[in-house]
Amino acid sequence: MKSSRLFSAMRSAPCARVALTILLATALTACVNKAADPGVSNMHSLPEPEIKVVNYSLVACEEIWDVPDNKVMDSSLYWLRAIDCAVRLSPAEARAQARLWPADDWQSAFKQAMLMDNGNETPVERRQYLQRLDGFIGDYPVPLRPLIQLWRDNQLAQLQLSEARTRYHHLQQSSDAQLDALRQQLIAQNKELVLVRRKLQTLTDIERQLSSRRSPDTSDNGHIDKNGAAQGDSVAVPDNTTQDAPQP
């Protein structure tokens, strides 16, 4: 009876309705929190992985090559720092440093190759250290294989560029030789043309001189022959009247 009266009184009062709503919401929230507590406690109880990343960019280049820890060799950050230090060396220093690393294992072969990359190497030397490095392809750590593959692809691209430059140099030399031969041939032909012109000019001058000499001689000879022929005719004609006359 008391409870029924209480609910009837709460229905009649607006404030009582609000209080009842808040009471029910609080009870539901408590139930949800109790149901979620085991999962939350289990999440906080999971061990967090401990990851320690060494900042190799702070390591001096003089010390980066002599790191004795083999675990460091599996770190791509270490090799990126080694590549950066190799680029900072002069060609002579890079070659001298490369001689200190005989290619007995993949680490030494990789160090030697990246040092020789900055040592003004020839295409033959580049192929040689790439072949030595490929001999240890099965020993590369899995985390380092993408880095080594990218570095090797860059070396192959430089080889292709060097071969293209060599082919272009040979073609340029061949074309220069052909152009030089054509120039020499043109010079020789010009010399021959000058000689031919001189000969033609000489012949032309001789012909003019001969023609100028023939003109007066021909006119004089014609006049003499004409007069001579006339005089000869008058002398040669016999006097027929004298020969036909009878002698006493």
205 to 193, 194, 198, 214: CA distances (angstroms): 18, 16, 10, 14
The model's pLDDT over 21-62, given as tens digits with 9 standing for 90+, comes to 555 555 555 554 444 444 444 545 555 555 566 778 888 888
Q: Report the amino acid identity of residue 103.
A: A
Radius of gyration of the chain (CA): 59
Whether the pLDDT of residue 107 is over 60: the answer is yes
Mean pLDDT rounded to a whole number for the chain? 75
Contact call for residues 116 and 129 (beta carbons, < 8 A): yes
Whether the pLDDT of residue 94 is over 60: the answer is yes
Residue 167 is encoded by which pair of tokens? 């082919």
- At residue 29, the pLDDT reads 54
The larger pLDDT score, comparing residue 43 to residue 139, is at 139
Whether the pLDDT of residue 110 is over 80: the answer is yes
Give percent of the chain with pLDDT exceeding 90.
Answer: 37
* pTM for the whole structure: 0.55
166/160 Cα distance (integer angstroms): 10
Whether the pLDDT of residue 102 is over 80: the answer is yes
